[in-house]
């Protein structure tokens, strides 16, 4: 099977050269916009493209305010701070995620709690969250308290894994019932829709990443989507060193973050965002072709949930055994095709082994059997 797959991938991308997992595509106005920033000399953290990128992204996602920052991790850390997460808090998230999700929680002074993911979305499972809250927590006048540790459970951070939206209605209801703040890690899901509405716009905050391997890139960058305009203005102030606007004085009224996105990066983002719909259309076509290829086999392609439209940032397939997965990865590397295993689950990393967790059967199965396939937008777009 794997040799037929490799031939299919080479035909899909029409090349005999190395095929990466996900490469950026620059076919629009990116070069012109970046050159404009060079000509203007406004290449750093002040410039028209930062304002434009924020406004364009807010309009695209239909939120009150979008705040550009230097990367997705900074976006999540700033959002957690603005959501009220403080030292010694607990934040519920998924172990099946990239380490940046948990690192942002850690550097907020809090600690992650791991619940399982859903086989439906590969993102945080509402039933697993409900079981944790009902079995290990109580709602008091101080909020949601973890009974054994007596620590405050402050927030829930689901990640829309590989671009597939989680079951947001159920998660929002649980957050409402237990007085928890919902912060969406939408780093991988720009352009994905939950029941017709953009991911990252359901929680108080949503965060995006524009790393070089994301569906659009600014080289390095991130964005915080804010449901409330006042939250957005406060977060913009906080992430730009909390400096009070003045023509020459330097007065800062809070312990701000220097998380500003450079104008140079924002210019690249403006050019990329103009092409996002085309990128999504091509990636959805690629996903359909993979699904046709694996139809009727013992391999299961991950498909968008029926309630969602996924951007299919990364296509994924579940192998019948861990041995088959390893064989695929090794054979692909020898033939110049990049496949990727799932992340090692966070609860299996030494730095997070001590964290509170529920049973994580789906997480561990995915880690043993899942493989990501090349998912770049094709050059024929």
Q: Is the pLDDT of residue 379 over 90?
A: no
- Interval 118-136 mean pLDDT: 98
The pLDDT assigned to 46 comes to 84
Sheet hosting strand 197-198, strand order edge to edge: 197-198, 193-194, 308-309
Q: Is the pLDDT of residue 4 over 90?
A: yes
- Interval 259-280 mean pLDDT: 98
Domains parsed from the chain with CATH numbers: 2-24+276-373 (3.90.1150.10), 30-273 (3.40.640.10)
Residues 342 and 370 sit within 8 Å (Cβ to Cβ): yes
Residue-wise pLDDT tens digits, 216-260: 999 999 999 999 999 999 999 999 999 999 999 999 999 999 999
The pLDDT assigned to 381 comes to 59
- Interval 330-335 mean pLDDT: 96
Q: Give the rounded percent of residues in the chain with a pLDDT score beyond 70.
A: 99
- Interval 79-85 mean pLDDT: 97
Q: What HEC string does 262-327 produce? A: CHHHHHHHHHHHCCHHHHHHHHHHHHHHHHHHHCCCCCEECCCCCCEECCCCCEEEECCCHHHHHH
pTM (2 d.p.): 0.96
Helix (H, G, I), strand (E, B) or coil at 76: helix
């Amino acid at each position: 099977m794997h040799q037929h797959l490799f031939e299919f991938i080479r035909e899909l991308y029409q090349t005999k050269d190395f095929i990466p997992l996900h490469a950026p595509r620059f076919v629009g106005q990116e070069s012109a916009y970046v050159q404009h920033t060079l000509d203007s000399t406004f290449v750093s953290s002040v410039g028209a493209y930062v304002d434009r990128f924020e406004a364009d992204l807010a309009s695209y996602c239909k939120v009150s305010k979008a705040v550009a920052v230097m990367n997705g991790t900074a976006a999540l850390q700033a959002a957690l701070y603005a959501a009220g997460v403080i030292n010694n808090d607990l934040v519920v998230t998924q172990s099946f995620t990239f380490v940046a999700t948990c690192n942002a929680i850690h550097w907020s002074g809090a600690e992650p709690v791991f619940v399982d993911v859903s086989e439906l979305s590969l993102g945080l499972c509402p039933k697993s969250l409900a079981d944790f809250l009902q079995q290990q927590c109580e709602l008091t006048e101080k909020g949601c308290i973890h009974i054994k540790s007596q620590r405050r459970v402050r927030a829930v951070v689901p990640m829309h894994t590989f671009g597939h939206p989680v079951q947001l209605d159920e998660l929002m209801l649980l957050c409402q019932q237990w007085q928890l703040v919902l912060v969406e890690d939408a780093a991988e899901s720009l352009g994905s829709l939950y029941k017709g509405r953009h991911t990252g716009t359901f929680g108080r905050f949503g965060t995006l990443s524009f790393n070089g391997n994301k569906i659009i890139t600014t080289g390095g960058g991130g964005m915080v989507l804010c449901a409330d305009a006042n939250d957005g203005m406060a977060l913009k102030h906080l992430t730009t060193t909390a400096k009070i606007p003045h023509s020459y004085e330097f007065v800062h009224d809070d312990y701000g973050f220097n998380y500003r996105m450079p104008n140079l990066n924002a210019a690249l983002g403006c050019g990329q965002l103009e092409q996002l719909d085309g990128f999504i259309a091509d990636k959805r076509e690629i996903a359909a072709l993979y699904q046709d290829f694996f139809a009727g086999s013992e391999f299961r392609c991950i498909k968008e949930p029926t309630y969602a439209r996924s951007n299919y940032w990364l296509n994924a397939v579940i192998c019948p055994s861990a041995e088959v997965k390893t064989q695929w990865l090794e054979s692909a590397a020898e033939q110049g095709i990049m496949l990727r295993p799932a992340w090692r689950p966070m609860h299996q990393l030494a730095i997070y082994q001590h964290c509170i967790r529920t049973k994580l059967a789906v997480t561990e199965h995915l880690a043993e059997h899942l493989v990501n396939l090349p998912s770049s937008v094709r050059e024929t777009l």
